[in-house]
Amino acid sequence: MKLSRLFTRTFLICLVPLILSGCGGKFIVLDPKGPVGEEEKHLILLTTLLIAIVVIPVIILLIYIIYRYRDTPSNTARYRPKWGDNKYLEIIWWGIPIIITVFMAYFTGKSVFALVKPPTTDVKPITIQVTSLDWKWLFQYPDQNIATVNYVDIPAGRPVQFILTSDAPMNSFWIPQLGGQEYTMPGMAMRLWLQANETGKYFGTGANFTGEGFAHMQFDVIAKTEAEFNRWVNKVKAAGKPMDMAIYNRLKQPGLVNKQTYSSYPPHAFEMTLMKNGGHYHERIPEGNQFNPNDTEKTK
């Protein structure tokens, strides 16, 4: 009757977005191109399945019960107004969710611990330092000594260790097809392991609100073969202009800029950003990136 109409309608409405989006949109989270994203997609699908075990019976039971026990004079179904207790039934539905939880807890723990390590260990990782600014992304390659703004090139097949900080309000660094996000915070150096297994251009975005220009903080991630990546690095080194502190300070001003490429950047620029924003209160700077402000003279 009226109620069954409610549910058919509800289901139809639920279906509409799926049908429509099949035409235009891309479910990038469910189409990962690297091991981290794969692992997370696996968990997403697994948990969807596990919760469906509870949710679908609930909805079916609800429809059945409302229909079977509706209050009409002709209804001959059993009526037990004072029945309010059944130990066995209650044990079942305290028990089933507990079992499901144990399953999920196991897989969650396993993944959480796995994701703080490099996705593959037989290949040498590359480190890229990421700074979120108002409202742009700065990428620095400490090994190559080059820098880019609003796009980042990475070698496919190699684990990338992104070291994240912010020289502006807290943001979040997210490349859905490579894997989940992590916050960029002033004075903190956060580590995020990602890896692309296929070459291609991927969508990257800021995910934590930072004010007026936040909606425009999207960037391209371009995964290239190792050879192409090296060619690109050499090209940048040869042709690009160097970044100095004046340029950095201009970049730091709130505003939007286009993609930019720099053939070098001031030594320890990333570490200085960290320190300036209170980094000396934390000991979270990953190994190999420690920086002692007293060393500036020496490195010069």
Partner 1 sequence: MEPKFKISHFFIHGDPLILGADVSIGIATVMIIFVLTYFKKWKWLWKEWLTTVDHKKIGIMYVIAALLMLFRGGVDALLMRTQLALPNLKVLLSEHYNEIFTTHGTIMILFMAMPLIFAMMNIVIPLQIGARDVAYPFLNAISFWLFFFGAMLLNLSFVIGGSPNAGWVGYPPLSELQFNPGPGENFYVLAIQISGIGSLATGINFLVTILKMRTKGMRLMDMPLFTWSVLATSILIIAAFPVITVTMLLLFLDRFAGAHFFTMTHGGDPMMYINLFWIWGHPEVYIVILPAFGIFSEVTSVFSKKVTFGYTSMVVSMMLISFYAYFTWVHHFFTMGAGAGVNTFFAVSTMIIAIPTGVKVFNWLLTMYQGRIRLTEPMLWTIAFIPCFAIGGATGVMLSIAPADYQYHNSYFLIAHFHQVLIGGTVFGMFAGLTYWWPKMFGFKLNETLGRWAFWLWNIGFYACFMPQYALGFMGMTRRIYTYGWDMGWAPLNLISSIGAVIMGIAFLFQVWEIAYSVKYGERDTTGDPWDGHTLEWSLPSPAPKYNFAVLPEVHGRDAWWKTKEAKERGDYEEKKQELEPIHYPKNSGIPFILSVFFFIAGFGFTFEWVWMGALGLLGVAICLIVRSFQYDTDYYISVDEIKETEAALRGEV
Residues 50-69 that bind partner 1 (CB under 8 A): 51-52, 54-55, 58-59, 61-62, 65-66, 69
Binding mask 75-114 for partner 1 (x = CB under 8 A): x-xxxxxxxxxx--xx--xx--xx--x--xx-xxx-xxx-
DSSP 76: -
> Which residues in 230-289 contact partner 1 (CB under 8 A)?
276-278, 281, 284
Peptide bond into 135 cis (omega under 30): yes
**How many of the chain's residues bind partner 1 (CB under 8 A)?**
104
> Which residues in 141-170 contact partner 1 (CB under 8 A)?
168-170
Minimum distance, C-beta of residue 201 to partner 1, in the bound complex (Å) = 11
Query: Which C-beta is closer to partner 1: that of 42 or that of 250?
Result: 42
CB 294 within 8 A of CB 263: no
Return the axis-axis angle of helices 87-115 and 35-68, rounded to nearest 10°. Answer: 160
Beta-carbon contacts of residue 169 (< 8 Å; ≥ 6 apart): 134, 186, 210, 211
Query: Which C-beta is closer to partner 1: that of 81 or that of 288?
Result: 81
Minimum distance, C-beta of residue 286 to partner 1, in the bound complex (Å) = 11
**Distance in angstroms (rounded) separating the CA atoms of residues 109 and 272:** 35
Q: What distances in angstroms separate CA 298 from CA 145, 182, 246, 272, 295, one per listed residue?
A: 18, 33, 22, 15, 5
Query: Which C-beta is closer to partner 1: that of 212 or that of 226?
Result: 212
**Distance in angstroms (rounded) separating the CA atoms of residues 41 and 180:** 10
> Which residues in 12-51 contact partner 1 (CB under 8 A)?
13-14, 16-18, 20-21, 23-30, 37, 39-41, 43-44, 47-48, 51
Binding mask 184-213 for partner 1 (x = CB under 8 A): -xxxx-xx-----------x-xxxxxxxxx
Minimum distance, C-beta of residue 137 to partner 1, in the bound complex (Å) = 14
**Distance in angstroms (rounded) separating the CA atoms of residues 24 and 20:** 7
Minimum distance, C-beta of residue 232 to partner 1, in the bound complex (Å) = 23
Query: Which C-beta is closer to partner 1: that of 108 or that of 120?
Result: 108
Query: Which C-beta is closer to partner 1: that of 89 or that of 246?
Result: 89
Minimum distance, C-beta of residue 234 to partner 1, in the bound complex (Å) = 31
Minimum distance, C-beta of residue 158 to partner 1, in the bound complex (Å) = 21
CB 133 within 8 A of CB 168: yes
Nearest residue to 143 (alpha-carbon basis) of 161, 121, 127, 160:
127
Q: Where does residue 246 rank: exposed (0-12), middle (13-18), buried (19+ CB within 10 A)?
A: exposed
